[in-house]
Structure 1
Amino acid sequence: MPENRYKPLPWTKLKRGVPCYLPRAAGHASVDANSPALEVMTDYRRQTPVTIARSASLDDANRAMTLCRVQYLLVTDEQQQLLGIVTEAGTRGNQPLAIAHRMGVRPGELVVGNVMIDKHDEAEVLHLRDVAHARVGNIVTTLKELGTPFCLVVDHDEEDHHVLCGVFSLARIQRQMGLEAHTEEIAQTFSQVVSTLGR
């Protein structure tokens, strides 16, 4: 490669006494039911997902979700292959207590693998080819039909393996539609979002 092909850019030094601030977090653009669905998808092709091992404790999972300000974690193995998804509902409250009782162990002995949604057994996914032409209203209707606040989006590589592209989260859609986040049951949350689709 010729040494003169790439020229150095102009540079300077930070001036003493001149403040230098961290950037403000960019807010999500406001959307409505007719906005492109991709505007509310968390795109893992551009943003690295937060992952956790299936052997991690529920306390570790809860700490990770709190620190990263997310409501779910992707469960992966050493090869970064998706094993499932774990949500706040699976790590807190009655669900882990019921699982511990069924397994005959103390709740503190549970690990992520005991409470995660297995990718093969229970995880419904959308395909990127369908999402690419869909609208936000289509996504909300789909989440309502599935009865879940999350849905993964996949594509396929040359060998026809699934490649995880992103996720739709009802909480994110709420924020981008300018609705307040609530902790009520999923059905109530859906009714609030769906009620805005006709506006």
Structure 2
Amino acid sequence: MPDSHFKPLLWTKLRRGVPCYLPKAAVGARVEAHSPALAVMTDFRRFAPVTIARDAALDEANRLMTLCNVHYLLVGDEQRQLLGIVTEASTKGHRPLATAHAMGIRPRELVVGNVMINKHDDAEVVHLKDLAEAKVGHVLATLKELGTSSFLVVEHDESDNHVLCGAFFLAQIERQMGGASQPDEVAHTFSQVVNTLGR
């Protein structure tokens, strides 16, 4: 039963004949290398990431990424534990074909678990506490050192388990910098992305 202290909000109906537009895709505020690192972090505490099961078909993963307009999915189990990450680069084109050939199965038999980046083997993480004083430049330097286009951010719960709380994506940082990132640094990073995602 509703609390009697709360009154309903004022409401109305959409007016006939008046357009109602869909919102534009949100883009973070313009940043520079000395801006706070958290300004370019995708915060999973505010926007829950899109997830998929390990045994889901690649077609399902591709449909979900298209529907949600994302280029990656987090892979989880029934207990909400992170198993890995699957990227668009590993579900389309020649890479799944090569994986299927190496496994001796048909491409349509592949599932997300066959092509995902395993959390223990390949997923790099940074602790949230280490980002308090960090700048965007530190994030770019980390991406360059790792030779990847993204890394995850974690914190600890009361049982000292890792809790995924965010991620950094090179493409998003570049958009927010408006092309202001250093060309040599970005080019060097991109030159290693294919090898990182193709494992």
Which category of TM-score, normalised to the shorter sequence, fits these structures?
0.7 to 0.9
Deviations along 1:102-145, one digit per CA (max 9) or x if unpaired, are 21112221110001111112211111001222111111110111
Deviations along 1:56-77, one digit per CA (max 9) or x if unpaired, are 1111111211221211110011
Q: Which amino acid aligns with 2:159?
A: E
Q: CA deviation at 1:17?
A: 5.1
Q: Which amino acid aligns with 1:122?
A: D
In structure 1, the partner of 2:178 is 178
In structure 2, the partner of 1:86 is 86
Say if 1:80 and 1:17 are closer, same or farther in 2 by CA, change over 3 A: same
User: Matched residue of 1:120: which SS?
Assistant: helix
Dislocated runs of 4+, deviation >3 Å = 3-26, 189-192
CA distance, structure 1, for counterparts of residue 36 and residue 92 of structure 2: 33
CA RMSD of aligned residues (A): 2.6
In structure 1, the partner of 2:43 is 43
Q: CA deviation at 1:7?
A: 4.3
Q: How does 1:4-153 map to 2 (within 5 A)?
A: 5-12=5-12, 14-15=14-15, 18-153=18-153
Aligned residues: 187
In structure 2, the partner of 1:190 is 189
CA distance, structure 2, for counterparts of residue 187 and residue 21 of structure 1: 35
Say if 1:21 and 1:160 are closer, same or farther in 2 by CA, change over 3 A: same
Of residues 89-98 and 137-146 in structure 1, the stretch that sits farther from structure 2 once superposed is: 89-98
Q: Which amino acid aligns with 2:189?
A: F
CA distance, structure 2, for counterparts of residue 128 and residue 32 of structure 1: 20
CA distance, structure 2, for counterparts of residue 15 and residue 24 of structure 1: 21
The answer to whether the 8 A contact 2:30-2:178 is kept is yes
User: Matched residue of 1:154: which SS?
Assistant: strand
Q: CA deviation at 1:168?
A: 0.6
CA distance, structure 1, for counterparts of residue 58 and residue 89 of structure 2: 11
The answer to whether the 8 A contact 2:154-2:163 is kept is yes
The answer to whether the 8 A contact 2:148-2:190 is kept is no
TM-score, normalised to structure 2's length? Answer: 0.82
Say if 1:138 and 1:95 are closer, same or farther in 2 by CA, change over 3 A: same
The answer to whether the 8 A contact 2:44-2:166 is kept is yes
TM-score, normalised to structure 1's length? Answer: 0.82
Identity level (%): 66
Deviations along 1:164-192, one digit per CA (max 9) or x if unpaired, are 00111111111111139xxxxx9737379
The answer to whether the 8 A contact 2:148-2:189 is kept is no
Choose between structure 1 and 2: higher helix proportion. 2
CA distance, structure 1, for counterparts of residue 23 and residue 96 of structure 2: 39
